């Protein structure tokens, strides 16, 4: 399988303080990489570097390089809007637009230049189907998305993300505010989505990392401690530090 | 201070070591009873097998509870797995010792064919293997576990020797066929005990190194 993302010696500063230090790793296409580690270890910062979401935070600086499909995305002139279309993101708190369910998905399509109504309708339906939401909302597409349950809202946000056909999906604790059944649906979804997308997910729930990911990266105070196949991380990690973290001995 | 979780692991670990002690006692006493034609001791071995059965169920229940409630990972997961698996092997060692004791009772009253040499040797190797397998677990010493696995060959060799010897006895004297077959059964039970200890030692290597070395893989 191909290398989809490559990160070389990435350091990211908030002011003078590095939040992540000299991180190098690569992510294979159509795989799920989980980022784990205690709060403040830099995993969310790292995630946000991958679609340059940190650019909007003042007084920050990035060193090193990030390549997607062997092309650097860190240049000043790089088309960030185009990047974010390719690299979609789902947040911890679902954030649907205060519009109808239909519009939540159609909006992104229109600003991406899709005008044909039938095409939009078809993509809305496909996206809702692939997030297993279609049957639950097909009779009320024109109702406000704010009336959906938390789990449905989160799946709508994922539907909205995949509607514009990204290549990579970043997820920042996508299920941490959801009940177990909604969580299970999101996890099922992640496993279905990896057939088409490359996924990087931050999670505090280690069982979730074990269930959904192919590779797991353990971060600690800005350092990448260990990146290994998820099976290895959760049965016999190479480093004692990783073992201590996943067995709850610290963190 | 140990967390509640660590305390739970500690409790179930203590139980599996207790079970290992009981298994050692069962193997030792069953062969002692056979050697000394001691019916009372043989009966005791059979009675005490219940303790192993009870512990087996308790350990299973505790491991299941830990798996469900704690979802252990890494070294803790491997520890629970080695306990869960060894549990079955130890219970079987208890059953095989009972079989030896039953054979001892069946053979009672019949004239001794010959002094027992190889069978007690098999038993003492088996007992050392159990001790070392559990020492390997508590000391996290994978080399010790590998030694245990190698020693199983000695038991296998002795089993063949016993078989060959008793086979020639039976040809010479058909009146002792029943006794000789009894002793062959005993040797076979000890050979099976060696296999169960080997399983435990293999599992302990998985616990210590995370490697599955069964069936010649990974080594």
pLDDT tens, B175-212? Answer: 899 999 999 999 999 999 999 999 999 999 999 999 99
Mean pLDDT value across residues A82-86? 93
SS3 (DSSP) at B135? helix
Decide if pLDDT at A251 tops 60: no
Establish how many alpha carbons lie within 13 A of residue B7's alpha carbon, considering only the half-sphere containing its beta carbon: 4
Contact A243 B77 (CB under 8 A): no
A34 within 8 A of A242, measured Cβ to Cβ: no
A229 touches chain B (CB under 8 A): no
Tell me what pLDDT residue B108 has.
82
Tell me what pLDDT residue B2 has.
75
Tell me what pLDDT residue A177 has.
84
Give which of A247, A249, A250, A251 to mutate to test B binding, by max B Cβ within 10 Å: A247
B45 within 8 A of B123, measured Cβ to Cβ: no
Mean pLDDT value across residues A56-69? 94
| Two tokens, residue B160 | 């063949």
Assign A35 a pLDDT band (cuts: 50, 70, 90). Answer: very high
Decide if pLDDT at B1 tops 70: no
Q: Which residues of A touch B74 (CB under 8 A)?
A: 233-237, 242-243, 246-247
SS3 (DSSP) at A47? helix
Decide if pLDDT at A130 tops 90: no
Handedness of CA A26, A194, A220, A42 (dihedral sign): positive
Strand partners, A88: A169
- At B41-94, the pLDDT tens digits run 999 999 999 999 999 999 999 999 999 989 999 999 999 999 999 999 999 999
Mean pLDDT value across residues A64-76? 95
Which among B73, B210, B211 is the nearest to A247, CB-wise? B73
Give which of B74, B79, B140, B206 to mutate to test A binding, by max A Cβ within 10 Å: B74
CB contact set of A200 (below 8 Å; sequence gap of 6+): A5, A27, A32, A33, A35, A47, A50, A168, A169, A170, A171
Contact B73 A236 (CB under 8 A): no
**Phi, psi dihedrals of residue A85, rounded to the nearest 5°:** -75, -35
A225 touches chain B (CB under 8 A): no
Is beta strand A168-172 parallel, antiparallel or unpaired with respect to A87-90?
A: parallel
């Amino acid at each position: 399988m191909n290398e989809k993302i490559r990160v070389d010696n990435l350091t990211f500063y908030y002011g003078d303080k590095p939040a992540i230090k000299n991180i190098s790793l690569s992510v294979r296409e159509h795989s799920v990489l989980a980022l784990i580690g205690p709060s403040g270890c830099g995993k969310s910062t790292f995630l946000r570097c991958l679609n340059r979401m940190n650019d909007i935070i003042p007084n920050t600086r990035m060193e090193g390089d990030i390549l997607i499909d062997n092309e650097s995305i860190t240049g000043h002139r790089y088309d960030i809007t185009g990047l974010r279309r390719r690299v979609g993101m789902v947040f911890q708190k679902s954030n649907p637009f205060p519009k109808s369910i239909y519009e939540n998905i159609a909006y992104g399509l229109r600003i991406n230049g899709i005008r044909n109504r039938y095409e939009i309708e078809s993509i809305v339906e496909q996206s809702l189907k692939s997030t297993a939401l279609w049957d639950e909302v097909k009779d009320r597409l024109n109702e406000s998305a704010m009336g959906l349950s938390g789990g449905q809202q989160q799946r709508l946000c994922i539907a909205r993300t995949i509607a514009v056909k990204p290549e990579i999906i970043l997820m920042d604790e996508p299920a941490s505010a959801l009940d177990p059944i909604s969580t299970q649906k999101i996890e099922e979804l992640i496993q279905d989505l990896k057939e088409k997308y490359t996924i990087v997910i931050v999670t505090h729930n280690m069982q979730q990392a074990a269930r959904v990911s192919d590779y797991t990266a353990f971060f600690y105070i800005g350092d990448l401690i260990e990146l290994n196949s998820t099976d290895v991380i959760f049965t016999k990690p190479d480093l004692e530090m990783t073992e201590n973290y996943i067995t709850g001995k610290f963190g | 201070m140990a967390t509640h979780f660590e305390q739970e692991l500690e409790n179930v670990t203590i139980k599996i070591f207790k079970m290992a002690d009981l298994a050692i006692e069962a193997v030792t006493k069953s062969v002692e009873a056979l050697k000394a034609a001691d019916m009372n001791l043989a009966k005791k071995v059979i009675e005490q097998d219940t303790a192993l059965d009870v512990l087996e169920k308790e350990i299973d229940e505790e491991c299941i509870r830990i798996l469900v409630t704690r979802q252990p990972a890494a070294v803790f997961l491997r520890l629970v797995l080695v306990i869960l698996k060894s549990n079955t092997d130890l219970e079987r060692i208890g059953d095989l010792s009972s079989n030896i004791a039953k054979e001892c009772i069946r053979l009672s009253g019949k004239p001794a064919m010959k002094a027992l040499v190889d069978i007690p040797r098999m038993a003492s190797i088996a007992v050392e293997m159990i001790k070392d397998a559990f020492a390997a677990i508590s000391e996290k010493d994978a080399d010790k576990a590998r030694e245990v696995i190698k020693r199983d060959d000695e038991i296998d060799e002795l089993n063949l020797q016993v078989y060959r010897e008793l086979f020639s006895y039976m040809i010479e004297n058909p009146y002792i066929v029943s006794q000789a077959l009894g002793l062959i059964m005993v040797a076979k039970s000890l050979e099976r005990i060696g296999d169960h200890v080997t399983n435990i030692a293999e599992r302990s290597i998985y616990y210590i190194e995370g490697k599955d070395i069964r069936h010649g893989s990974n080594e």
